[in-house]
Structure 1
Amino acid sequence: MRSIPRVARAFAVTGALALGLAACGGGDDDTSTSGDGGGDLVTVGFVAVGPEGGWRQANEANVQDTFTEEAGFELKYAPATNLDQRSQIDAFTSFVDEGVDVILLSATEGAGWEDSLRRAQEAEIPVILVDRGIEPDDNSLYVTRIAPDNYEVSTSVAQWAVSQFPDGGNYFVLEGPAGVSVVNERNKGWDDTVSSVPGLVKVGAQTANWSTEEAKSVFETVLRANNNDIQLVFAQNDEMGLGAAIAVEEAGLTPGVDVKIATIDGTRPALEALGEGRLSFVAEYNPLFGETLLEVVNQVLDGEEVEPYIVVPSETFDSPEAATAALPSRQY
């Protein structure tokens, strides 16, 4: 998708304003403009996910802290209502109708965005995907996606699991909501590595909607149904992994000993649990990429080309010592 350079946009806005003033009939010296220089700000519509857990809170707060008036932006933050895609599509449509300069999109669901993205394209409003992708992934409809690489992150978890269970074992996967791109990407990265190891047996997988309480409930049921014969849990986010740890403890087992739990996100509570031995492996999914996003927005509005997928670097933590070392500087 091509974006209209900010210079061209500025001329278009200035021309429209001049025509409007001329039509009013001239000469009135007390004509005033609304706002205090707000017309100089770049307007950014942020179609966001909203409350969903520690990672999401850190990510969206980082974006809001970056796109400030002091930095030259007016950020219009539109979180989804109860994670509902319809509310996101409505917000996206409103931003197109308003004629914002750029739209940032963190989609609650991957599918169903083609019509909205085409409307933005017709209006020459560039769209940048923040964290989550769209399905099917038609990158002609957006400028770029900025996110850690879910496939690589989940592959790192799977490689750790294979190294921990050379003789095999039974495992269960706690997934995020169905239809979300990151869930599909994390499943693929994990499956492509683990499925080739015959000794690792998948007992099942179920969504727990990123929730600690739901994960606890789901994994309690799984443990009972399998007579506690589960050695490994892959939780696709930290909150679900912490819920699994509670279920393990309440079953009279010891997390990290009887059941090893690996998670993705790298939030402070997860690193604290890793430091205590309740979690066994944490793969970071770095949420703090507001500065990268701002740089890309400026490049796009200046008419520069950017890569279609900009990967945010992330790291992994495989021991209590690694977690303890990382905690003092952990911002989320």
Structure 2
Amino acid sequence: MKRLLLLLTAIFILASCTGKDNSDKNPAEDKYPTPTEQNLVVGFSQMNHINPWRVAETNDLKRKAEELGIELIILDGESSQEKQIEDIIELVALGVEYIILAPLVFEGWDEVFSTCRDAGIPLIMLDREVDGIPGVDFLTFVGGDFVKEAISAAEWLIEKTVSSAKIIELRGRERASCVIDRERGFRETIEQTEGMKIVISEYADFERIKGQRVMEEIILSYGRDFNVVYAHNDEMAIGAIQALKAANIQPNVDVIVISIDGSKDALKSVIAGELGATVECTPKLAEQVFAAIMRNELGKSVPPKIIVPERLFDKSNALEHIDEAF
């Protein structure tokens, strides 16, 4: 009976997550009844644990798995697609019942698709999309809408700069789906407004120290003829802010900085008047992931994409939401 209640509750949670967006509601607030009698073993291939966002995502999955009584085997991909593929083959050999993959890059996962399919193990893509077909090559994708995040950032920026900006773009990791989408959504939006222009775009691998170093190099080589920094994540933005301050460029006065993630450090920076705004991309996806698994266990259909809505935090609401941030 407890197992049935768990599965039915999972269906309710998943339905609420895939229905109409509610931007005032944290998608990780829903709760499952416990304990569970599922005794499931789930494997998780995390791309790395360098970034605080990744650590928060892994910890959220660990928390939820423990709450549900599910054994979660976590393998660290160490920022290597080859290692992630090897790890998934290892998880298949261990006989796990589900595999969750946070993929490093967009393409090159055909071996993973075929290995999981041949073993009859449902595969869930987490937080980044890949070049496979949802519902065919893998059970479902759970994560944010990266294009929409970038559009939200661009629209805020257009209003803030009164449609006049020379923009430095700090991109994440090359070939990652979130980078492709955050670049596309942002560019397509600002291109509709005369006076908005990206003057330099460089990779900084989603890392704070690289964001600072790349920003320092841009200031040295390009000069100060820019008034906006758009970073694909908070870590790079915070690094860029350090570089700006070191060059006596006042963030949020001389140069507006906007980023994506909605981390606690970013919201603190917004409150301090340095970061202009950050668009939420929550790492707290465990509720939706395990709801999909439980629904599949009951033999019910699982949506091919489960999209978690985003919010934008700026000076008007950052303090109100800081306790929710990771």
Band of TM-score, shorter chain = 0.7 to 0.9
Bigger relative contact order, structure 1 or 2 (CA pairs below 8 A, ≥6 apart): 2
- Counterpart residue type for residue 330 of structure 1: E
CA RMSD, 1 decimal:
1.6
Which of 312, 325, 330 lines up with 2:324 in the alignment? 330
Q: Secondary structure at the match of 2:106?
A: coil
**Residue 61 of structure 1 aligns with which residue?**
59
Query: Where do residues 24-35 of structure 1 align in structure 2 (5 Å cutoff)?
Result: none
**Residue 201 of structure 2 aligns with which residue?**
205
Give how far 1:210 is off: 0.9
Aligned residues: 290
Report the Cα distance in structure 2 between the residues aligned to 1:40 and 1:268, rounded to whole angstroms. Answer: 34
Give how far 1:331 is off: 4.4
Identity over the aligned pairs, expressed in percent? Answer: 27
Change (3 A) 1:40 1:238: closer
- Cα deviation, 1:203-243, whole Å, max 9, x if unaligned, reads 11111111111111111221233321110011001010001
- Counterpart residue type for residue 266 of structure 2: A
The more displaced of 132-141 and 257-266 is: 132-141
Which of 68, 76, 81 lines up with 1:79 in the alignment? 76
**Residue 31 of structure 1 aligns with which residue?**
none
Report the Cα distance in structure 1 between the residues aligned to 2:190 and 2:235, rounded to whole angstroms. Answer: 23
Report the Cα distance in structure 1 between the residues aligned to 2:265 and 2:278, rounded to whole angstroms. Answer: 11
**Residue 307 of structure 1 aligns with which residue?**
303
Give how far 1:98 is off: 2.3
Report the Cα distance in structure 2 between the residues aligned to 1:108 and 1:227, rounded to whole angstroms. Answer: 33
| Matched-pair contact (CA < 8 Å) for 2:134–2:140 | no
Q: Which has the larger radius of gyration?
A: 1
| Matched-pair contact (CA < 8 Å) for 1:110–1:179 | yes
Change (3 A) 1:161 1:105: same
| Matched-pair contact (CA < 8 Å) for 2:142–2:308 | yes
**Residue 50 of structure 2 aligns with which residue?**
52
Give how far 1:318 is off: 2.1
Give how far 1:97 is off: 2.1
2:90 corresponds to 1:94? yes
2:112 corresponds to 1:119? no
- Cα deviation, 1:125-152, whole Å, max 9, x if unaligned, reads 1001111111255651001000011111
Which of 105, 109, 116 lines up with 1:109 in the alignment? 105
- Cα deviation, 1:173-214, whole Å, max 9, x if unaligned, reads 101110111111111111110122231121111111111111
Gaps (5+ residues) in structure 2? 1-36
| Matched-pair contact (CA < 8 Å) for 2:190–2:197 | no
| Matched-pair contact (CA < 8 Å) for 1:110–1:134 | yes
Report the Cα distance in structure 1 between the residues aligned to 2:75 and 2:40, rounded to whole angstroms. Answer: 17
Which of 291, 297, 301 lines up with 1:295 in the alignment? 291
Report the Cα distance in structure 2 between the residues aligned to 1:303 and 1:124, rounded to whole angstroms. Answer: 14
Q: Secondary structure at the match of 2:249?
A: coil
Report the Cα distance in structure 1 between the residues aligned to 2:154 and 2:231, rounded to whole angstroms. Answer: 11
| Matched-pair contact (CA < 8 Å) for 1:109–1:179 | yes
**Residue 253 of structure 2 aligns with which residue?**
257
Give how far 1:301 is off: 2.2
Report the Cα distance in structure 2 between the residues aligned to 1:196 and 1:250, rounded to whole angstroms. Answer: 34
Give how far 1:165 is off: 2.2
| Matched-pair contact (CA < 8 Å) for 1:212–1:242 | yes
TM value normalised by structure 2: 0.85
**Residue 192 of structure 2 aligns with which residue?**
196
- Counterpart residue type for residue 167 of structure 2: Y
| Matched-pair contact (CA < 8 Å) for 1:223–1:230 | no
Give how far 1:72 is off: 3.1
- Counterpart residue type for residue 41 of structure 2: T
Give how far 1:114 is off: 1.1
TM value normalised by structure 1: 0.84
| Matched-pair contact (CA < 8 Å) for 2:134–2:304 | no
Gaps (5+ residues) in structure 1? 1-38
Query: Where do residues 167-316 of structure 1 align in structure 2 (5 Å cutoff)?
Result: 167-316=163-312
Q: Secondary structure at the match of 1:67?
A: helix
| Matched-pair contact (CA < 8 Å) for 2:262–2:325 | no
Report the Cα distance in structure 2 between the residues aligned to 1:203 and 1:136, rounded to whole angstroms. Answer: 33
Q: Secondary structure at the match of 1:50?
A: coil
Report the Cα distance in structure 1 between the residues aligned to 2:239 and 2:192, rounded to whole angstroms. Answer: 28
Give how far 1:167 is off: 4.3
Q: Secondary structure at the match of 2:317?
A: helix
Q: Secondary structure at the match of 2:184?
A: helix
